[in-house]
């Protein structure tokens, strides 16, 4: 049964993986046998993440490139394929958030959110899929959100971007499943991460979240690993175009 979740011999590229959810997913895939390529724009933080994984005995490399720059993405993916080896698993994790009332939401932040949260998924997904198509196999996991289905005040552009990731996942599946590629999404609920630290530290917000979530708590990033391993390995060979919510039940109830 363990062979269903064995990633030995596979190589995974995880975008936005120098900290938080991305780093947790990279570590989790490595724990199940995958070699991992970490991506980010901050060289120092990325190098530290790679060294931490290597110190734990894992096969890890750094690939610093801007996921919102299509040319840079294509060059980086081609270089990895040529110099390191085939990318068997792609986790499109890079993302950002900015909170402001919608009537005053800055246009430049709107464009930045769309570029980071949506365009990057298209750019990296397309570049990697071109290689996967020639091999007739591959796994792509896009990181969506509970905001793919729900909205809260002050984050309408983020909600729009994550709704786009949900449907882009379905579109990628529709086009690429015929080539042996499984494209799915993980939709996290509220997790304790560096990007959410201000909300974690806000007693009013944490009280609201604990009352709103059936599990009555924040998620831990390690609790996303099982979903990622499932969608990366043989166990999900006929799962395609699916959005897996890992949210403590928040999308299940009013």
Query: Which of 119, 106, 110 minimizes the C-alpha distance to 70?
Result: 119
Phi, psi of 45 (to 5 degrees): -65, -40
190 annotated active-site: no
**How many other CB atoms sit within 10 Å of the CB of residue 23?**
27
67 CB contacts (<8 Å, ≥6 apart)?
15, 16, 39, 73, 94, 116, 120, 123, 124
Counting the structural domains of the chain, the total is 1
Q: For residue 1, is pLDDT > 60?
A: no
Residue 10 lies in a domain: yes
Q: What is the pLDDT of residue 10?
A: 98
Q: Is the pTM of this model over 0.85?
A: yes
97-146 residue pLDDT tens: 999 999 999 999 999 999 999 999 999 999 999 999 999 999 999 999 99
For residue range 13-60, list pLDDT tens digits in order: 999 999 999 999 999 999 999 999 999 988 999 999 999 999 999 999
Residue 206 lies in a domain: no
Is residue 137 exposed (0-12), middle (13-18) or buried (19+ Cβ within 10 Å)? middle
Q: Is 118 among the domain residues?
A: yes
CATH number of the domain where residue 189 is located: 3.40.50.720
For residue 123, give its domain range.
2-193+220-252
Considering the domain boundaries, does residue 167 fall inside one?
yes
Does residue 186 belong to any structural domain of this protein?
A: yes
Question: Is there a domain that residue 185 lies in?
Answer: yes
199 lies in some domain: no
Q: What is the pLDDT of residues 181-238, one digit of tens each?
A: 999 999 999 999 988 888 999 999 999 999 999 999 999 999 999 999 999 999 999 9
**What token pair was written down for 32?**
């199940």
Q: Which of 123, 158, 190, 245 is catalytic?
A: 158
d(CA 214, CA 186) in angstroms, rounded, equals: 19
- Dist CA 78 CA 91 (whole Å): 17
Q: Is 16 domain-assigned?
A: yes
């Amino acid at each position: 049964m363990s062979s269903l979740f064995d990633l030995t011999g596979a190589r995974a590229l995880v975008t936005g993986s120098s900290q938080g959810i991305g780093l947790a997913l990279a570590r989790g895939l490595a724990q199940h046998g995958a070699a991992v390529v970490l991506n980010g724009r901050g060289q120092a933080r990325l190098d530290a993440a790679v060294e931490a994984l290597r110190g734990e005995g894992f096969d890890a490399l750094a690939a610093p490139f801007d996921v919102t720059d299509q040319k840079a993405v294509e060059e980086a993916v081609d270089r990895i394929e040529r110099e390191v080896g085939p990318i068997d698993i792609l986790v499109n994790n890079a993302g950002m958030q900015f909170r402001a009332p919608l009537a005053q939401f800055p246009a430049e932040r709107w464009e930045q959110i769309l570029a980071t949260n949506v365009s990057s998924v298209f750019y990296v997904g397309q570049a990697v899929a071109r290689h996967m198509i020639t091999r007739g196999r591959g796994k792509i996991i896009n990181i969506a959100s509970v905001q793919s289905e729900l909205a809260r005040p002050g984050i309408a552009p983020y909600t729009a971007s994550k709704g786009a990731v949900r449907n882009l996942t379905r579109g990628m599946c529709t086009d690429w499943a015929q080539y042996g590629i499984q494209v799915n999404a993980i939709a996290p609920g509220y997790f304790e991460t560096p990007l959410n630290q201000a909300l974690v530290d806000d007693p009013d917000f944490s009280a609201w979240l604990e009352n709103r979530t059936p599990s009555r708590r924040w998620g831990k990033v390690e609790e996303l690993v099982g979903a990622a391993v499932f969608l990366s390995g043989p166990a999900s060979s006929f799962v395609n175009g699916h959005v897996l919510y890992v949210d403590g039940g928040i999308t299940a109830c009013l």
